[in-house]
Structure 1
């Protein structure tokens, strides 16, 4: 009798990884953050300087970032100053556009909504998508508490901390494991995004509302003043942009089709050898 030949599985099991609430809020955030970023840069262009403290400096200098155009013997130039260090950023920041029709704004129109100077429209777009962002955050939080997503996939456990150094090393070498659940580095990253950056950017945004200042003056004190809150808001935005760039790179490196399927259908193809548990759905 011939022995049956067995061939090793080349694919891991297809598991249900993302709930409908995770998928809906994920794509809602993609849209919201797109408009919030570019409309936010339009608002920033109205006063392209960041400060630390209760107020901007006039008789003192408490600026940590300043982007502007300056006159030089060679003509106007774009200049960016960060913590007292000045850099020529002509063509990118402070001064952009063609030599015939230069645009003297901090961020060029290519990355602002609208693409021309219109602070009023920028504020309307920013506030509109800002409140959608807040509502989406509330829906995600309630759903994720009820279905265990936060406890299971966002908050790092003891085992995650032990496995974090090895997981970081694997990611640096682009050796990505496709598991049933998030890896230690993914958990830590999403914890920072959902528990630190999202609340920080929402609360500091509220600090810049005169109505919120009148109703909840303690919120300004919590962040060290209106100008400090504005600076934290900008830094949180920059960190979210960094997260987005790294996130897209990891999606491409680890399999774009598999990751997109996960965020559209909820189904995710795991690595070979991943055990098929009795219950797939989170």
Structure 2
């Protein structure tokens, strides 16, 4: 999910007058952790939706159930003369989501479930298997984050590519304008939007995902009861966990869109082989 780590010395670069320099941009640590995260987040998302379907409601507070009015999201089914209809309730407002949420499948064989079978692992109802898959990849994600953090401290990736400088922040308005006009500068270095977005993912969303996941564990609550105080209860932690997951999905979609817009072959090559093609030198471009 990040696009830069180490740039080799000049003797390790290859220049093409028409295409610019080919620089070694991504270290082995960056590439290995990047693709491990891709696999982890794939299985975590869809196994998480399997777990969510066991109770397709989100609450604020310690308690939940029919006796309480603290639900902020609910996916359910209602009976009608024409058959079951899916209803999604968000902050008290109801939406007919038949075919997607609440009720999915075919008209002949409707399935009453929060998220449809195509979005869960396993596709059939199996909470136990979903939990095993989810927990395995959750711990793999934590281990990979630890490896990435240590490696990034050692090789300077955190300081060089994630932490924005004063000059970076000064260029933020121009960088936003360039992205809005799909003007991308292939310099072999992170721009300020990348630094800020990756910093939020690594140091806000990932920690929140991990800590709220631990808060939902009764065993962890017994060992670390302060988690319940930080997140306002187990049900609130579950809601925050869901929101953080949604933000990660949005980040992923934007990330993929930017990769395609900036040149997918060049971007994927750098994340597979480590080598990245920069822009040709231009006297008219101050970023070169």
Q: What TM-score do the two structures reach when normalised by structure 2? A: 0.90
1:49–1:65 contact (8 Å) kept in structure 2: yes
CA–CA separation in structure 2 for the residues paired with 1:132 and 1:195: 17
Match of 2:271 in 1: 263
1:13–1:274 CA contact under 8 A, matched in 2:
no
Mapping 1:104-123, distance limit 5 Å: 104-123=112-131
CA positional deviation for 1:172: 1.7
Greater shift in the superposed pair: 171-180 or 214-223: 171-180
For 2:249, which of 241, 259, 271 is the aligned residue? 241
Q: Which residue of 2 aligns with 1:181?
A: 189
| C-alpha separation in 2, matches of 1:171 and 1:207 | 38
Stretches (4+) displaced over 6 A: none
- Structure with the bigger RCO (C-alpha within 8 Å, sep 6+) is 1
- The residue correspondences of 1:83-102 to structure 2 (distance < 5 A) are 83-102=91-110
Size of the aligned set, in residue pairs, is 268
> Could you say which residue in structure 2 is the equivalent of 1:103?
111
Q: Name 1:279's counterpart in structure 2.
A: none
2:162 match:
154
SS state at 2:75 partner: strand
Residue in structure 2 matched with residue 77 of structure 1 by the alignment = 85
* Counterpart for residue 53 of structure 2: 45
Segments of structure 2 that go 5 or more residues without pairing to the other structure are: 1-15, 284-288
Cα distance in structure 2, aligned partners of 1:274 and 1:199: 41
Query: 1:10 deviation in Å?
Result: 2.4
* 1:1-282 equivalent positions in 2, closer than 5 A: 9-273=17-281
Measure the CA separation in 2 of the matches of 1:134 and 1:274: 43
Deviation of 1:15 after TM superposition, in Å, equals: 1.4
Q: TM-score, normalised by structure 1?
A: 0.92
- Per the TM alignment, residue 194 of structure 1 is displaced from its structure 2 partner at its CA by 0.5
Q: Give secondary structure in 1 for the equivalent of 2:171.
A: helix
